Amino acid sequence: MKIQKIEEEINQLKIHLAFLEKCLVEIQQNCDHHFKRNQYYETCIKCNKVNVLYY
Ligand SMILES: [Zn+2]
């Protein structure tokens, strides 16, 4: 594989990753959360959003 080709693919994947992260954030912002609590964090069973309860 040529360097240029690798860099091109990395950039395309970065763009795709940014798109996916944006989708995830949008879903989590619009989710009617249903949290399941653990000792240290709670996780939404619908969208997998995690809130840390104690530091
Ligand atoms: Zn949720």
pLDDT in tens, 11-44: 999 999 999 999 999 999 999 999 999 889 999 9
Distance 15 CA to ligand 1 centre (A): 25
Model confidence band, residue 1 (pLDDT cutoffs 50, 70, 90): confident
Instruction: Name the domain count of the chain.
Output: 1
Nearest to 36 by CA among 48, 44, 28: 44
Q: How far is CA 3 from CA 15, 31, 40, 42, 55, in A?
A: 18, 42, 44, 43, 43
Q: What pLDDT score does 55 carry?
A: 63
Distance 6 CA to ligand 1 centre (A): 36
Distance 35 CA to ligand 1 centre (A): 7
Q: Which residue segment(s) compose the domain that 15 sits in?
A: 3-52
